[in-house]
Amino acid sequence: MVSKMSEDQLVYKQSKSSIKPNDYFPVGSFINIKIMKFLFFATLSTIIMMSSSIFKIDFGTKADTQNWLVVNDGVMGGLSKGNIEWKEESLLFKGTVSLENNGGFTSIRSPYSDMDLSKYETVTVHYRSEGQSMGLTLNVDQRFYIPNFKTILEITDGAWKTVTIPLLDFKQYQVGRLTGQMATKEDLAEVIRLGIITNDKKANAFMIEMDCISFQ
């Protein structure tokens, strides 16, 4: 037997069936919301990837790197002199190397910090230099006699140059002497300090100006 609907039931059913999803959520608006959400999360993911894949050290008066300091060979009795000049967008390190009193170097060093460079593959330096080639150093210990790692930044005769060096190409030195070992990922994970040091062991004036060091 087919039951008959009351007039009230019929009106309710008709009014309910007449309501369409688009009356509350127009198709265009729904699609736009989905697109906006997709773009937001895609942009956020890109920002996170970029921030985790690049470690950049900017120099200059507007940068947060003015806590680098000079270390001369006076700690060993030498007479070499170096000093830092902060420019608007760069760091200028210059001075004179002396071989007297068993000296022969001057350098600048970053503050100690747990850096863990093992997640990066290369380092890029934008610089110009005169007088001496320079060493970019990675220290894994505060004690001077513990081996560190170094790569050479060649003289550019005053012209700006950008060089990119694989981190695993850094050579190990102990008190200035090659050990025959190369940096490993384990070593890079232990880096606590960066440095720039005169490299040629000759008495003369020098300068190096850098605007950034980037690990990628």
Give residue limits of the domains in the chain. Answer: 7-53, 55-215
Which tokens go with 138?
């990675």
Instruction: Read off the pLDDT of residues 14-54 as tens digits, 9 standing for 90 and up.
Output: 444 454 545 444 555 545 555 454 444 444 333 433 445 89
Which tokens go with 51?
């921030």
Please check whether residue 126 is in contact with residue 211, taking contact to mean a CB–CB distance below 8 angstroms. Answer: yes
Q: Global pTM?
A: 0.75
66 — pLDDT class (breaks 50, 70, 90)? confident
User: Which of helix, strand or coil describes residue 94?
Assistant: strand
Kindly give the pairing relationship between strand 69-72 and strand 161-166. Answer: unpaired
User: Which of helix, strand or coil describes residue 138?
Assistant: strand
- Inform me whether the pLDDT recorded for 137 exceeds 70: yes
d(C-alpha 210, C-alpha 161), whole Å: 10
139 — pLDDT class (breaks 50, 70, 90)? very high
Residues 6+ apart with CB under 8 A from 20: none
pLDDT at residue 13, as a whole number: 46
pLDDT at residue 38, as a whole number: 43
Residue 112: name the closest of 138, 85, 92 by CA. 138
**Region 95-116: what's the mean pLDDT?**
96
% of residues, the chain, pLDDT over 70: 76
Residue 176: name the closest of 155, 205, 147, 203 by CA. 147
Kindly give the pairing relationship between strand 193-198 and strand 69-72. Answer: unpaired
- Inform me whether the pLDDT recorded for 170 exceeds 50: yes
CATH for 55-215?
2.60.120.430
d(C-alpha 168, C-alpha 182), whole Å: 7
